[in-house]
Amino acid sequence: MKNIVLFCAAGMSTSLLVSKMQAAAKEMGVDCQIAAYSLNELTAKGADADCILLGPQVRYQKDKVTTAFPDKPVAVIDMRLYGMMKGKEVLEEALKMMG
Amino acid sequence: MMDKFQAAMEKTLIPLANKLSASRILRAISGGFSALLPIIMVGAIASLLSGLNIEVYQNLITSIGLKPIITYVTTYTTNMIALYAVFSIGKAMADQLECKNQSTLVALTTLLMFLLVIPTGVGEGETAVASAISTSYFGAPGLFTAMILGCVVPIIYNLFVKYNIVIKMPDGVPPQIANGFSAIIPATVLTVIFVIVRQLCTLTSFGTLNDLIYGLLRAPLSSLTESPITFVILLLFCNILWFFGIHGGMVTMSFLNMLYMAPAMENLEAMAAGEALPNLLTKTWWFTFAQLGGSGGIIGLAVCMFFFAKSERYKTLGKISILPALCSISEPIVFGVPLVLNVMMLIPMILSPLLCFLSSYIMTLIGVLPYLNGIQLSTGTPVFLSGFLTGGWVAAVWQAVLIALQFAVYFPFFRMVDKQAVEEEKALAAKE
């Protein structure tokens, strides 16, 4: 099972998006685990991730994340998709990243 | 022209935000404080229960003997917050240094140093108790010492680890035990240093390190925190960062903690003791008044969209964003409208929090609004509840006024972007 992990400042607004993504995953029949955390938990929670997505508000931390996990796909979520809480589109993006 | 300006700002702001959030001291203080949340919350609830200013209620809890029991909880949480802070800041600092695999030991050593500089003995003459420690060193005034020691002690400790001045155990010894031994030299040397510091402080007119730090920092810091200008600068900085799509709160929160946490704790202590609240501006102000609805002060904008949007796009966004906005989560609006890099929305985005802050400040000065009690509510606490818990029903009603104010600030600008969206949608429909 693929493990998609999202990070933002407190993990709060991102968890809104996560619930939309989970609903989309169910609808599309994709078997994956999706969760949101605060960037403070990067080392602990990023380790098991197959794919790391960052909220656009913490995009300035992307370098730090890629240095911590050079082998993992890392991306910043598109601002509009994030704001409109487009769970399906973000999920498709994540699935593409994991190949 | 605008593109160039944006590019230039991104080039300066992103590295600045990066640098600030990478600063070990800021990270240690802000990480250390966020780990204190359970203790702060328990203390706040107890303060609220014992200080709630309703006569019938006060008479009731006093007559059934509940009041001292509740106060007891405050004594060991809010009134000793520095004791917890020094440990958790020390740990947060150690986590970022080479000594991170023994950060608990470093935190314990930091706690030891904090205690070492506190004098024993309470009272004078006949009533003196030799084997007592005054808990006043553990309260809000001790926070300055906690922040300084929480950063300094791990840095010194780290030197020993870095230059390998530690007792090494043979390979077969379990790491748990070996770590404990490796802490002996740094802890001993630090003890000697701080015992000397303690003795040196007794030679000064302050008497103790705590009083020295508090005495030297208190005056400049309180003139800084009491000035609304400091607050306004933090507010502007935060919202300008958000305009560029950078989480401003994450960057400004460390400063907010450093400057406005101690005043908030002093207010909580005073409330629990039934005294008048000493500080006007505290950290509580950020969430209760200034950034009502999250960054950009956007509840008013969410209301604009929810009730008055003509375009499909903003109708949808209004539905998505209004509930999060009421709980101070502004990202759907910030990125959905978007407010980020949207020059048309820059004015209200800066103005809304600024006016919310200034009007609340004036209303407090003229005595319409009460001083806020300093409770640290976590983000996500719904509006009105946050006002009620921190300033009673007056503050909750005032929050409604602030939402109307935000609405008025955003409405004309919202009309423009909404009109634009309607036209775009029409053009799109015509194409199809």
Find, in chain A, the residue whose alpha carbon is nearest to that of B294.
Answer: A13
Contact with chain A for residue B340, Cβ under 8 A? yes
- Please indicate, yes or no, whether residues B299 and B190 belong to a single structural domain of this protein: no
The residue-averaged pLDDT of B214-223 equals 83
Name the E strands within B235-319.
Answer: none
Q: Based on the structure, what is the number of domains in chain B?
A: 2
| Chain segment B132-183, per-residue pLDDT in tens | 888 888 988 888 899 999 999 999 999 999 998 888 778 777 877 777 788 8
A-chain residues near B34 (CB < 8 A)? 40
Asked which of B177, B210, B226 is the last residue of a domain, the reply is B226
pLDDT in tens, B108-126: 999 999 999 998 888 777 7
Do residues A37 and A45 make contact, with C-beta atoms less than 8 angstroms apart? yes
Same domain? B215 vs B290: no
Is the Cβ of A16 closer than 8 Å to some Cβ of chain B? Answer: yes
> pLDDT for B290-310, tens place per residue?
999 888 899 999 999 999 999
Q: How far apart are CA A75 and CA A59, in angstroms?
A: 9
Task: Print the domain residue range for A93.
Answer: 2-98
Per-residue pLDDT tens over the stretch B357-392: 999 999 999 999 999 988 877 777 899 999 998 998
Task: Say what the pLDDT of residue B302 is.
Answer: 94
Tell me whether residue B308 is in a domain.
yes
Asked if residue B253 has pLDDT above 70, the reply is: yes
User: Domain for residue B72, yes or no?
Assistant: yes
Percent of chain B with pLDDT over 90: 41
Q: Is residue B318 part of a domain?
A: yes
Reading the block at residue B167, the tokens are 């007792």
Mean pLDDT rounded to a whole number for chain B: 88
Residue B391 domain-assigned (yes or no): yes
Asked if B247 and A82 come within 8 Å (Cβ–Cβ), the reply is: no
- Residue A56 and residue B250: Cβ atoms within 8 Å? no
Q: Give pLDDT, residue A39.
A: 84
Give B167's contacts (C-beta < 8 A, 6+ positions apart): B181, B182, B184, B185
Same domain, B291 and B197: no
What single-letter DSSP state applies at residue A40?
G
pLDDT above 90 (res B191): yes
Residues B216 and B295 in one domain: no
This model of the complex carries an ipTM of 0.72
At A16-71, the pLDDT tens digits run: 899 999 999 999 988 899 999 988 788 888 888 999 999 988 888 888 889 889 98
Nearest chain B Cα distance for residue A14, angstroms = 9
CA distance B131 to chain A (A): 41
Residue B6: the pLDDT is 67
Higher pLDDT, B108 or B330: B108
- Confidence (pLDDT) at B123: 76
**Structure-block tokens of residue B236:** 């502007």
List the structure tokens of B381. Answer: 């606490």
pLDDT the model gives residue B126: 74
Q: Is A8 a catalytic residue?
A: yes
B36 part of a folded domain? yes
What pLDDT is recorded for position A6? 93
In the DSSP assignment, the letter for residue B52 is -
CATH code at position A10? 3.40.50.2300
Query: What three-state secondary structure class fits A52?
Result: strand
What is the residue range of B90's domain?
25-121+131-226
Helix ranges restricted to H, B170-295: 175-182, 184-203, 209-226, 228-243, 248-272, 284-285
Domain count, chain A: 1
Do B187 and B299 lie in a common domain?
no
CA–CA separation, B383 vs B293, rounded Å?
7
pLDDT at B221 over 90: no
- At B274, the pLDDT band (50, 70, 90 cuts) reads confident
pLDDT exceeds 90 at position B255? no
Residue B1's pLDDT is 56
A72-82: pLDDT as tens digits: 999 999 888 89
Q: Nearest CB to A82: which of B316, B330, B335? A: B335
Q: Is B316 on the interface with A (CB under 8 A)?
A: yes
Same domain, B166 and B75: yes
Residue B342 and residue B211 share a domain: no
Domain shared by B218 and B295, yes or no:
no
Give the residues across from B43 on adjacent strands: none
